[in-house]
Structure 1
Amino acid sequence: MGDEVSDTVFSRAQRAQYRRKVQRCLEVFQTMLASTGFDSARPRTGMEIECNLVDADYQPTMRNVEVLASIADPAYQTELGAYNIEFNVPPRPLAGHAALDLANNIRASLNAAEAKAGAAGAHIVMIGILPTLMPEHLAGDWMSESARYRALNESIFAARGEDIEIDIDGPEPLRIQTATIAPESACTSVQLHLQVAPADFANNWNAAQLLAGPQLAVGANSPFFFGHQLWAETRIELFGQATDTRPEEFKAQGVRPRVWFGERWISSIVDLFEENLRYFPALLPELSEEDPAAELAAGRIPRLPELRLHNGTVYRWNRPVYDVVERDGVARPHLRVENRVLPAGPTVIDTLANAAFYYGALRTLSEADRPLWTEMDFAAAESNFVAAARSGMAAELYWPGLGQLRPDQLVLRELLPMAHEGLRRWGVATEVREMFLGVIEDRAATGRTGATWQVEAVRALTDRGLNRPRALAEMLRHYCRGMHSNAPVHTWELP
């Protein structure tokens, strides 16, 4: 959800003061990088899973308040839409059988949450975009009750000065206008966190950017929006357009979008925070009482709330994160790379397989003596990302030394061996590596992702005479059956 705010409207004076405060936070952060011990001795991974709520007919239901009250677990929180919830998975190391234990814990937690959601008249679905979501669902009280979300909506439209146009091509192009950020709520993802040392941040972020295209191609799960078949991972383009603060004139001038892949490889986490301050006006300029310089001078760890809040409104697909946690009564700062590339679902085993592929390949790429990104233009990594979002396993991707090739070839020939080696370096047990990466191998070999299964299932149902809305609902019913079976999506039968 992000940090809550207390105001929804901000004055010009607040904005000017906030800009100065973010700059002061950044200066203190740079000092801390040179003088403060960051928590990195035992690197941990974390995960957030955004989910949708549906009723008995597999239509979105705006009942997250009732569902969360029934679940009564602080690990579950609201998200933007009243038909969304988020599950926060506690951080942990990767070594040994931890990934297998994590999969079992996530399944047990989601199963318990599903049972309690059922008592509130709802069911939980892990999917990139809920295929039964239609414009009429977002015409009423669609937004979760939160000052942060209301303020974001107001700030985005104040910056634009006009309605947002959603214009996405694909097999069944969609073009609509919206007076709210409601379409953003359709985009539900899995966010993978990796704690890193300051000196290792740049290599890990660069490696994550390099991986984003193939990672997305093999994990796509969002082919439908508002009844239209669009991209393999429509969520990527939809999220970018639904939160775009730029009117057309600003786009023509080259103003950067807030949903941003980036434009260069970096040498420090400071590069990203500096870009945030230089390029992006504040959306939520809420000021805190903290004087970061005074906190640091007093021997305390500054929370840097303005820097963190501003960073949370620049939607990079790989986001830098500064945080402070208390362990054994001692506050310690740490840094994370937050990977926001993947959609939710289809199953827990698919989700953990995607995570294992990412963490393993990331480790090998980030520790290479000759980093692969030094042989690749940054623009090529972004082109890979867009091509993978648009076409999934049918995309053509560029890779240094190999040229243009399909995602299945890249994954099977290059990236899976890297992922195995990286997980070995993390100390992951051999049988755990083989189980999760075996899912990726089979998915790449068959070309069957969540996106391809959804498209094939809807085609099969319409061939039997169902109209599109009924076919989408019936497909989602079969999808939920597969989701609860926890069988990898490439093994699912068509309805």
Structure 2
Amino acid sequence: MGEDVDRREFSRADRTRYRVKVRRGLDAFERMLREAHFEFERPMTGLEIELNLVDERFEPAMRNAEALAAIADPAFQTELGQWNLEINLAPRQLSGHGASTFESDVRASLNAAEEKARAVGTRQVMIGILPTLRQEHMSGRALSGNPRYALLNEQILAARGEDLHLAIDGRERLRATSDTIVPEAACTSTQFHLQVSPEQFPAMWNAAQAVAGVQIAVGANSPFLFGKELWAETRVALFEQATDTRSEELKAQGVRPRVWFGERWITSIFDLFEENVRYFPSLLPICSTEDPVDVLDRGDTPALAELTLHNGTIYRWNRPVYAVVRGRAHLRVENRVLPAGPTVVDILANGAFFYGLVRALSDEDRPVWTQMSFSAAEENFHACARDGIAAHVYWPGLGQVPVAELVLRRLLPLAHEGLRRWDVDTEERERLLGIIEQRCATGITGAGWQVRAFHDLFDTSSVSRDEALRRMLGQYCDHMHANQPVHTWPSAVG
């Protein structure tokens, strides 16, 4: 949910009016798909990275407003927690050396922002969950100042009717409660965008769903929460629970969660927006003055404000996006699977793997999603979040297979071919996909390095658990700024 909002209380009439407007927007969207109202001349990609702010001791720094003022760059904006920022990169083509320009632009922006952020006593960290976060940081005071976050907090908790309960069983066991949605802010992600035509969208989305688990396995970077060692990508379990509007009774009835993998392969992007309207009540019933059908009738492009706002409060791991840019509508797959970090080059390697793989899989005569059940893809997703690079997954023609073996034997060649079809330079794809190959060969991801470094410090010295996590994070930050791939990082030193 990226739009500013100012309404704080909603009546029954507001919700009724909003439901009518959402359904009218869905009708307009269906008509736009039928009449080909979408721009698609060349494939464009986009990138968003969520960041954490820490102080000189690598503890969370609740100072994003000060940091933003110092950075003074419109590419940076606030996120849910006061220790969060987000950087948005302008869309660009993937072909040629597009990934390298992304890499150089992100590094230049982060380096400039880091220098300015240090002037107000903060540093930036790209990591899935900040290891030094503790439960005492989860109070309502940690929400960012923008009113939309307080409003979202109120509406989620009102819909739920009770405090949030976190229960994650990994290498250790976590049980916690929260009277705010601030734990969601612990989840910092990388989001890849891919602009597609309406005709291409279902195949691209299905392919993205099919490989979501593998993405997490090779990109996991969130093994710690509140001092506990949990899943390789604990962010998945945390995000699913921290934004859950369902009571235990509604869960038992099978009501769908707002953080949702989905339940079926699709044949049109309309399927996803129609599911949004059918299954999910409004959280923020804010109505615009636009009548989208009237806008279409006069030959203009509607913003579909209610439909897009509603879509922004349903947290699919691969989200459909409708947007209007310079008066033209376009569609995107927003891939929200991966955590932030560990380095810019690691992020770009993850992006190359994703873009190449979904292109190759979506072009196949007999696509992978016609050979496996949707539930198998979901089971892969959670197995990989739990076990990371050590996970076993189901893949058609292979059965249950170690994920590293699947990537090396089957998926990396497909990703290379997909990038070739995107016209990515040979040297570029070999460099970036070589990083994925080496992670699989060494078994080292961001999560793996964090766990190994933590135990090097905690198991062999007298430091406390919190101190070991703090020192580990300090070394992580040094490596992050060096921008060498995580599989090359040395183990921790005391």
TM-score (ref. length: structure 1): 0.98
Q: Equivalent residues in 2 for 1:126-137 (5 A)?
A: 126-137=126-137
Amino acid at match of 2:36: T
Q: CA deviation at 1:8?
A: 2.1
Query: 1:363 is matched with which residue?
Result: 359
1:450 equivalent in alignment to 2:421: no
1:468 equivalent in alignment to 2:473: no
Residues 146-155 or 200-209, more deviating: 146-155
Provide the identity percentage. Answer: 63
Query: 1:389 is matched with which residue?
Result: 385
1:251 equivalent in alignment to 2:248: no
User: Match of 1:199, SS?
Assistant: coil
User: Match of 1:287, SS?
Assistant: coil
Q: Equivalent residues in 2 for 1:83-94 (5 A)?
A: 83-94=83-94
1:487 equivalent in alignment to 2:484: yes
Query: 2:310 is matched with which residue?
Result: 310
Amino acid at match of 1:93: Q
Query: 1:96 is matched with which residue?
Result: 96
Q: CA deviation at 1:138?
A: 2.1
Query: 2:372 is matched with which residue?
Result: 376
1:256-279 deviation per Cα after TM superposition (whole angstroms, max 9, x unaligned): 000000000000001000100111
- Find the partner of 1:344 among 340, 347, 355: 340
Q: Equivalent residues in 2 for 1:210-221 (5 A)?
A: 210-221=210-221
Query: 2:405 is matched with which residue?
Result: 409
Q: Determine the C-alpha separation between the residues in 1 that align with 2:37 and 2:133.
A: 47
1:218-237 deviation per Cα after TM superposition (whole angstroms, max 9, x unaligned): 00000000000010000000
Amino acid at match of 1:151: L
User: Match of 2:142, SS?
Assistant: coil
Q: CA deviation at 1:37?
A: 3.1
Query: 1:325 is matched with which residue?
Result: 325
1:105-126 deviation per Cα after TM superposition (whole angstroms, max 9, x unaligned): 1101100000000011100000
Amino acid at match of 1:203: A
Q: Determine the C-alpha separation between the residues in 1 that align with 2:242 and 2:404.
A: 31
Q: Determine the C-alpha separation between the residues in 1 that align with 2:176 and 2:474.
A: 27
Q: Determine the C-alpha separation between the residues in 1 that align with 2:110 and 2:166.
A: 33
Q: Determine the C-alpha separation between the residues in 2 that align with 1:12 and 1:150.
A: 20
TM-score (ref. length: structure 2): 0.99
Q: Equivalent residues in 2 for 1:44-443 (5 A)?
A: 44-139=44-139, 141-326=141-326, 331-443=327-439
Amino acid at match of 2:474: R
Q: Determine the C-alpha separation between the residues in 2 that align with 1:8 and 1:206.
A: 37
Amino acid at match of 1:263: E
Q: CA deviation at 1:140?
A: 5.5
Q: Determine the C-alpha separation between the residues in 1 that align with 2:89 and 2:18.
A: 32
Q: Determine the C-alpha separation between the residues in 2 that align with 1:460 and 1:131.
A: 15
Q: Determine the C-alpha separation between the residues in 2 that align with 1:140 and 1:371.
A: 46
Amino acid at match of 2:157: F
Q: Determine the C-alpha separation between the residues in 2 that align with 1:421 and 1:140.
A: 48
Amino acid at match of 1:488: P
Q: CA deviation at 1:183?
A: 0.3
Q: Determine the C-alpha separation between the residues in 1 that align with 2:332 and 2:105.
A: 23
Q: Determine the C-alpha separation between the residues in 1 that align with 2:484 and 2:95.
A: 24
Q: CA deviation at 1:317?
A: 0.1
Q: CA deviation at 1:98?
A: 1.3
RMSD, matched Cα: 0.7
User: Match of 2:321, SS?
Assistant: strand
Q: Determine the C-alpha separation between the residues in 2 that align with 1:441 and 1:388.
A: 17
Amino acid at match of 1:252: A
Q: CA deviation at 1:34?
A: 1.3
Question: Is 2:140–2:182's contact at 8 Å kept on the other side of the alignment?
Answer: no
Count of residues paired in the alignment: 491
1:294-315 deviation per Cα after TM superposition (whole angstroms, max 9, x unaligned): 1111111000000000000000
User: Match of 1:144, SS?
Assistant: coil
Task: Give ranges in structure 2 of 5+ residues lacking alignment.
Answer: none
User: Match of 2:61, SS?
Assistant: coil
1:27 equivalent in alignment to 2:24: no
Q: Determine the C-alpha separation between the residues in 1 that align with 2:140 and 2:256.
A: 31
